[in-house]
């Protein structure tokens, strides 16, 4: 009588190996290439763990950081602003955002920017996520915060013209993505993260 083959479950499993991450490159030299009012271009000479050497350039900004605010006047809607984007030479729809001023924490900065750009303050502000932008070329981190329980409050800002504030349904993200004037990746990611956070709080089964 032939012996039945052993089941897959009875066979010993090979031990899992942890991924071997390469060592970070050694910085051989660091030089300032150019500086403007907002930006600093830096050149880095790097030696990688395999001995290869390369020169990279990166754009650095304020070390104080920046904030982006998902502001909700009610549980189903979010405030977006329409502002001129000089990089694209056109008006775009995005979330309110700005730099953290010296001495501010991110919650204070988010509330100030919300008052300056949208004319609202928030009684409740909580951090959602930290996002980067083109990390191969930019040392930039954006803190995304969720602002709720809004109240009217305006502070003077530094915008060259009044911003247009629009209210959009958070559940209509597919329609927003189809618009030609809504394309900033950080704002898109922030809205999806906020939507999923709120869905999970209302019904954890809907989060996945």
pLDDT in tens, 179-197: 999 999 999 999 999 999 9
Examine the pLDDT at 204 and tell me if it is beyond 70.
no
Q: Where are the domains of the chain?
A: 26-60, 66-206
Mean pLDDT, residues 94-117 taken together: 96
Mean pLDDT, residues 166-187 taken together: 94
Rounded to the nearest integer, the mean pLDDT of the chain is 88
**Nearest CA-CA partner of 124 in 140, 144, 146:** 146
Length of the chain as a residue count: 208
* Residue 69 to residue 128: CA distance in whole angstroms: 9
- Cβ atoms of residues 50 and 23 within 8 Å: no
Examine the pLDDT at 12 and tell me if it is beyond 90.
no
The per-residue pLDDT for 199 is 86
Mean pLDDT, residues 66-91 taken together: 96
Q: From the options 3.40.50.150, 2.40.50.140, 3.10.20.30, 3.90.79.10, give the CATH code of 66-206.
A: 3.90.79.10
Mean pLDDT, residues 77-106 taken together: 95
The per-residue pLDDT for 206 is 47
- Cβ atoms of residues 26 and 47 within 8 Å: yes
Convert the pLDDT of each residue in 16-47 to its tens digit.
666 778 889 999 999 999 998 878 899 999 99
Examine the pLDDT at 208 and tell me if it is beyond 50.
no
Burial 149-159 (b: 16+ CB within 10 A, else e): ebeeeeeeeee
* Residue 50 to residue 32: CA distance in whole angstroms: 26
Mean pLDDT, residues 85-98 taken together: 95
């Amino acid at each position: 009588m032939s012996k039945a083959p052993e089941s897959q479950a009875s066979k010993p499993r090979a031990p899992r190996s942890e991924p071997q991450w390469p060592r970070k490159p050694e910085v051989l030299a660091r030089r300032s290439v150019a500086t403007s009012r907002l930006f600093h271009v830096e050149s880095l000479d790097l030696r990688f763990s395999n001995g290869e050497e390369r020169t990279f350039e990166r754009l650095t900004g304020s070390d104080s950081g920046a904030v982006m605010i998902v502001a909700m006047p009610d549980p189903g809607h979010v405030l977006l602003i329409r502002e001129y984007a000089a990089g694209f030479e056109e008006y775009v729809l995005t979330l309110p955002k700005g730099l953290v001023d010296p001495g501010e924490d991110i919650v204070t900065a988010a509330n100030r920017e919300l008052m300056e750009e949208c004319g609202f303050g928030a009684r409740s502000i909580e951090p959602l996520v930290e996002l980067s932008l083109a990390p191969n070329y930019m040392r930039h981190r954006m803190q995304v915060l969720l602002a709720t329980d809004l109240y009217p409050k305006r502070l003077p800002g530094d915008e060259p013209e009044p911003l247009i504030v629009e209210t959009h349904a958070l559940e209509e993200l597919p329609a927003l993505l189809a618009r030609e004037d809504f394309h900033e990746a950080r704002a898109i990611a922030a809205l999806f993260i906020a939507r999923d956070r709120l869905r999970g709080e209302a019904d954890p089964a809907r989060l996945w």
